[in-house]
Amino acid sequence: MERAVVRHDVNRGGQLPVKPTIITSFDPDKDVLVIDEPELSRKDLVFEQDGQDTLIRLADSFMILASLENVNAIDLDPVPFLKKFYKALQENNIEQVLSFLADDVLWEMGGPQDLIPWSGAWEGKAGVSQFFRLQKEGLAFEKLNPTRFIAQGNTVAVVMEGSGETKSGHAFSGGVVHWIIIKNGQISQLQCYRDTFPIIEALQGGRPFTVNASINGTAHYTNKSVTSPRTTDSIVFDETVFDTAPATVKSARAMYAALQGLKSEDVRKAFAPNVVWHMFGPRDIIAWSGERIGPIAAVESAKQIIETMRFDHFKAVRMIYQDNVAAVLIDEPGVSKATGIPFHTSVVHIVVVNEDGKVASIQNHVNTAEIVEAFLGGRPYTVT
């Protein structure tokens, strides 16, 4: 745990407070509330807005544990708020969608901006409105169906199934992750992580298609790195978490260590026998993409990654976790070994750990649009 993180203790010695602990300086971005009751969990708490303050009480009683002054309850418990946000998004109620956003919101989506005009960074509600206007010009519709919310404090990774259709009737689909930061009860930042190559293929009318050089130059937007001084949830029930990584984090770290060495014995220890390894991307162009089952198949895919690409760095920018699932944000600039053409992409790994502490599945939400371009020798390139 970094020293910048401030710990606020609700109680000591296993005794719940008779009177609520008043906390006057809690920062939802980086502080941690320590409730010294290892038998409790977030499911046992209720977060209530009381004017400008947040009251935290036990769900099965009227006992108030703490009062956090000038803190919005949504910053501590954002998932119910986000479920309403996605309902508005699914109903295509853009005016209501905008009401969930901070005035200075930063909305990002990676991708080639000349081919997908709504990719890039959009600032403020006016910028997000422009995002949706440009998206509407290119697509007949898009559906995002949330399947999992991984929440850690005011940061949430929302895992979704995405699908849509262009104005010309060409369909696309693929997994999507939104990395969201909540501040003062509103969405302060939203980053969209998805493979945009299927969207490009659909916008080009399907295969075969050729992508020519852009008159204004090619600009592939890459989501900016998001970091935090806090590596735990904003509320913890056992102080040992500051010194000992939770089981889910340990398993994810063991997986990355095993993949670096690619030793069969280490990989078998890290992965479940029937692990599902899913790397997004067009498999006929990118050999390591697709779904594989089992540790050996996963290693084959990992070896193909090393054989075809050289990374400037493979940096895990941030990991958040909830229960047995971790979301890992990774920055990946590199170069195609075959063509020497560089690429830069950002990735979210969704890692699920089983009861035995082994990785049961990993989904690599990587944007392969610029990787495909690099593999095919740069523009102009043709996909058959």
Give the Cα separation of 157 and 78 in Å (integer). Answer: 11
Please confirm whether the linkage preceding 380 is cis (ω < 30° from 0): yes
- Place 4 in a pLDDT band, splitting at 50, 70 and 90: very low
Please confirm whether the linkage preceding 208 is cis (ω < 30° from 0): yes
Q: Any idea which residue has 């302060």 for tokens?
A: 188
Let me know if 59 is exposed, middle or buried by CB neighbors in 10 A (0-12, 13-18, 19+). Answer: exposed
- Place 315 in a pLDDT band, splitting at 50, 70 and 90: confident
Give the Cα separation of 163 and 178 in Å (integer). Answer: 15
Strands (E), 294-324: 309-311, 315-322
pLDDT at 1: 36
Taking the CA atoms of residue 199, residue 204, residue 205 and residue 210 in that order, the dihedral angle to the nearest 10 degrees is -130
User: What is the mean pLDDT of the segment spanning 181-203?
Assistant: 99
Backbone angles phi, psi at 318, to 5 degrees: -160, 145
Contact 162, 176 (CB under 8 A): yes
Mean pLDDT in the chain? 94
Fold match, 79-221 / 246-383: yes
**Which tokens hold the place of 205?**
């009318």
pLDDT at 174: 98
Q: Would you kindly state where each structural domain of the chain is located, as residue ranges?
A: 7-73, 79-221, 246-383
The whole-model pTM stands at: 0.95
Contact 370, 220 (CB under 8 A): yes
Does the structural domain 79-221 have CATH classification 3.10.450.50?
yes
Please provide the size of the chain in residues: 384
User: What is the mean pLDDT of the segment spanning 322-350?
Assistant: 97
pLDDT at 361: 99
Question: How many other CB atoms are found less than 10 A from the CB of residue 353?
Answer: 25
pLDDT tens figures, 337-372: 999 999 999 999 999 999 999 999 999 999 999 999
3-state DSSP helix/strand/coil % of the chain, to nearest 5: 25, 40, 35
pLDDT over 60 at 14, yes or no? no
Report how far apart, in Å, the C-alpha atoms of 20 and of each of 73, 77, 158, 234 are.
16, 19, 33, 18
Report how far apart, in Å, the C-alpha atoms of 146 and of each of 48, 85, 109, 158, 374 are.
25, 11, 17, 7, 32
Give the Cα separation of 199 and 282 in Å (integer). Answer: 12
The continuous run of DSSP H or E covering 22 comes out as: strand 21-23
pLDDT at 43: 94
Determine the 3-state secondary structure of 380 from DSSP.
coil
Give the Cα separation of 44 and 221 in Å (integer). Answer: 42
In the CATH scheme, what architecture does the domain 246-383 have? Roll (3.10)
Q: What percent of the chain has pLDDT over 70?
A: 96
Give the Cα separation of 321 and 381 in Å (integer). Answer: 40
